[in-house]
Amino acid sequence: MGLGLLLILAGYLWHTFAGDHAAAHDGAAGHEDHHAGWGQRFWANLLVNGYFFGGIGLAAVFFYALHFAAQAAWSQVFLRIFSAVGTFLPIGMGIVLLVIACGDLHLHHLYHWMDGDLYDKASPKYDPIIDHKEPYFNRLFFYGRLLIFMAGWIYYQNWSRKNSMQGDLLRGNDMISNWKRNIRNAAIFLVFFGFTSSVYSWDAIMSIDTHWFSTLFGWYNFAGWWIGAIIVFNMLVVHLKSRDQLEFVNPSHVHDLGKWMFAVSFLWTYLWFSQFMLIWYSNIGEEVVYYAQRWEQYRGLFWITMVVNFAFPMLVLMSRDSKRNKSFLLFTGLLIFFFHWTDTFLLVMPGTVGEHWNIGGLEIGMFLFFLSFFIFWVFRALSQAPLLQKGHPFLEESLHHHI
């Protein structure tokens, strides 16, 4: 975290004393100047990292619920890891909400639709397309739904973790009753999550490019969170096993997590290609502009992000042995984890800083700070409970899992 803060400070000093002085003054006249300042980049990076790491926490809660709703046995030995990663959810959501609220206070200009003149027909800045969406951006409706979504997710995350701790002491009929309660609540959460996660991604990210709309955007974001969470699970398992702290996890468990990393990478690629090809091939001007900007200003990062996140899981994790090899899992996992962060970077930066983007001290420092804090927070949560959750009817089946 210290290195991250130092890099952020170094990035600020470089920008102020040796960088573009014209870009150092936020709030200069004109919309394009709003894109150029260091402050604009700072808030945009805060949104990138809050959204990325918060999304991983949300996906971990989703995967935990999915385990119960599907009545899965193999993953029972990982429940405490899923639960620990999910504890970062309130922090990530809080940061995203803070960034959005600060936009309304005019501390940054990430969300163009927050400019009141866009809705005034007498103003030269009047925008009929954004004005048409005014009911959706009504502040009471906008913040109301965001708070309801986040409160619902955090409530289930807290309830499931607390219930998991209490479940360790249950046996017999009490254990079965608790397990059935978990199935029921997990099913309710998954229905709630299925709708709200998409709308959250529209509000927090898609609304940056206010004129643009994609029906696949929510699923695409969800796939990115999910593969990020699976990679974190894999990294934690490899690390804890190397310290002899997961003796109950066998090669078949690791193999199954490797299969999830492989499969969800393809889900993300499928959605990336579907969204891109449908828009690019149809060549509708107001839709293609989203990709045209990324093509013109972010071309190298745009293509390398897609290629790495597709090619490396396919080439490295295809065989059975590679999914059980910790070196392959570490190498592939770390690589595609970073390039899923760059995918989130590409979701936010074009609409907020435009061509004034960079991956320098601020971006690397902010990423390292969040990554370090995320690791600290997850290990703190792991240290608060035994790594094996007991009081589960499939515990024995999971301990003897073999494929």
For every residue of 141-210, DSSP letters joined together read HHHHHHHHHHHHHHHHHHHHHHHHHHHTT--HHHHHHHHHHHHHHHHHHHHHHHHHHHHHHHHHTGGGST
* Helices (H) then strands (E): counts for the chain: 16, 0
Within 13 Å and on the Cβ side, how many CA atoms surround 279?
20
Q: Which two tokens mark 55?
A: 């999304």
The pLDDT value recorded for residue 27 is: 45
Cα 159 from Cα 169, distance rounded (Å)? 16
The pLDDT value recorded for residue 324 is: 87
Query: Is residue 183 classed exposed, middle or buried when 0-12, 13-18 and 19+ CB atoms within 10 A define those classes?
Result: middle
The pLDDT value recorded for residue 99 is: 97
Residue 212 and residue 287 in contact, taking contact as beta carbons nearer than 8 Å:
yes
The pLDDT value recorded for residue 34 is: 61
Non-local (6+) Cβ contacts of 2 within 8 A are: none
Cα 34 from Cα 28, distance rounded (Å)? 7
Cα 157 from Cα 61, distance rounded (Å)? 6
The pLDDT value recorded for residue 346 is: 96
| DSSP code per residue over 72-112 | -SGGGGGHHHHHHHHTTHHHHHHHHHHHHHHHHTTS--S-G
The pLDDT value recorded for residue 373 is: 96
The pLDDT value recorded for residue 29 is: 44
The pLDDT value recorded for residue 31 is: 47
Within 13 Å and on the Cβ side, how many CA atoms surround 329?
25
- Per-residue CA distances from 313 to 11, 225, 330 (Å): 33, 16, 12
Residue 52 and residue 91 in contact, taking contact as beta carbons nearer than 8 Å:
no
Which 3 state secondary structure label does DSSP give 50?
A: helix
Within 13 Å and on the Cβ side, how many CA atoms surround 224?
29
> Could you tell me the end-to-end alpha-carbon distance of the chain, in angstroms, rounded to an integer?
40
Tell me the mean pLDDT per 10 residues along the chain, length 403.
81 71 47 68 96 97 95 92 96 96 92 92 92 93 96 96 87 88 95 95 95 92 95 94 90 92 93 90 85 93 93 86 86 93 96 89 93 96 91 88 84
Residue 331 and residue 272 in contact, taking contact as beta carbons nearer than 8 Å:
no
The pLDDT value recorded for residue 24 is: 47
> pTM of the prediction?
0.92
Cα 29 from Cα 184, distance rounded (Å)? 55
The pLDDT value recorded for residue 171 is: 83
Cβ atoms < 10 Å from Cβ of 290: 22
- Per-residue CA distances from 225 to 162, 270, 294, 373 (Å): 24, 15, 21, 18
